[in-house]
Amino acid sequence: MNVQPIKQRYKIIGGSPLLDRAIEIAVQVAPTDLSVLVQGESGSGKEIMAKVIHDHSARKHGPYRALNCGAIPEGTIDSELFGHEKGSFTGAHEARKGYFETANNGTLFLDEVGELPLTTQVRLLRVLETGEFIRVGSSNAQKTSVRVVAATNVNMLQAVQKGTFREDLYYRLNTVPIHMPALRERPEDVHLLFRYFAQEAASKYKAPPINLREDAQQLLMNYRWPGNVRQLRNIVDQMSVIERTREIDIATLRTYLPAETTALVPVPGTASGGGLEGINERELVFKFLFDMKNDLNALKEQVKALAGGQPLSMPMAPVYRDELLMPTVQQPQGTVSIVPASQAMHEDVEHTEVEETLSIQEKEKELIAKALVKHRNRRKGAAKELGISERTLYRKIKEYSIP
């Protein structure tokens, strides 16, 4: 299939086989009414595939609607999708049509579909299977004929395993999967995109286009681009406005590329500083458990040494657990030995073993609770501290029943 005309029509830049394959699947599935799930990282251009499908389908003369599910508060998402009746909730001063009603005989693009609440997922599954929906506050079912194209930047199978996304809905949406490759998966397209964006910026800002020297081109292709095409466009715009010289060398380009790591957990001493900024909530918990495992192994070695009458291999500072307890040695996270004051005079002391939980959910709940206390229950600050969205934080608070 010749995909070049489609690339020209939608201004899709690149010659990667992965990109061409995604376009081919979109065109082939377009004449059918099958549901499509476009998967890819944020900024990789997933919505373009939805437009290609709509424009090459029998519904091309019908309406095309797009909704970012992650941007709608949980309390109003049902109203946005299915509409509501007058007086159905506070502020519903008049009846309102939802997206499934206004997109009738057309295509509905649901971006970030993985962010939908479970109750909304049930309603969505009913529409996909029966073509019927019910407005919020109504008991009358209405018919609709809508082609659904969904997109997500999360691993849906992991979401299903975690219980945050319904398995039956996943397979209903994923009738035909389309993978949008990340920019690092098609490095041969990076310089093409750079030149295209540079020409766009030159026309927009009335200045000569910027060019890359050979060493800078190599750096551009080797960078991992966590923000994908969107990040590349932003960097080109920045350099086009800020830099006086039109020849960009490797030193100048480096100042515009944020330090990033490909590791699951940042390594201390790297450009990330070994901190927790930039990693998601799951990675934060894994890092905590990984550190705790190392400390636990170190503690076992110390217990072995003490049992064999050998000296400790590392110095330990005294720690005071309570006014009623004698000082004990500082030990890594894991098992803590506590010596009651009443027994401190005896040589053979019984030690109470306190095992810390290794449950990911418990650690996640503990971190969220600490963040809320630190920010005085201000969810915006707590979400920023944890590196997650406010919507995700709100869902986690409800899931773990955090007061």
What is the per-residue pLDDT for 277?
Answer: 39
Q: How long, in residues, is the chain?
A: 403
Tell me the CATH number at 191: 1.10.8.60
Residue 264 lies in a domain: no
Mark whether 101 and 220 lie in a shared domain: no
User: 17, exposed or middle or buried, with CB in 10 Å at 0-12, 13-18, 19+?
Assistant: exposed
Mark whether 204 and 109 lie in a shared domain: no
Cβ atoms of residues 10 and 124 within 8 Å: no
Residue 275 lies in a domain: no
Residue 368 lies in a domain: yes
Mark whether 96 and 229 lie in a shared domain: no
Mark whether 98 and 11 lie in a shared domain: yes
Q: Give the single-character DSSP code of 146.
A: E
At 356, is the pLDDT very low, low, confident or very high (cuts 50, 70, 90)? low
Residue 81 lies in a domain: yes
Residue 279 lies in a domain: no
pTM summary value:
0.64
Tell me the CATH number at 370: 1.10.10
The number of domains in the chain is 4
Mark whether 21 and 168 lie in a shared domain: yes
pLDDT tens readout for residues 167-208:
999 999 999 999 999 999 999 999 999 999 999 999 999 999
Instruction: Name the domain boundary from 355, 370, 386.
Output: 355
Cβ atoms of residues 133 and 97 within 8 Å: no
Mark whether 395 and 364 lie in a shared domain: yes
Please provide residue 308's backbone torsions phi and psi, each rounded to the nearest 5 degrees. Answer: -90, 5
**Mean of pLDDT over the chain:** 82
- 12 vs 264, which has greater pLDDT? 12
pLDDT tens readout for residues 245-273:
999 999 999 999 987 543 333 333 333 33
Residue 298 lies in a domain: yes
- Give the residue numbers spanning the domain of 224: 184-254
Residue 31 lies in a domain: yes
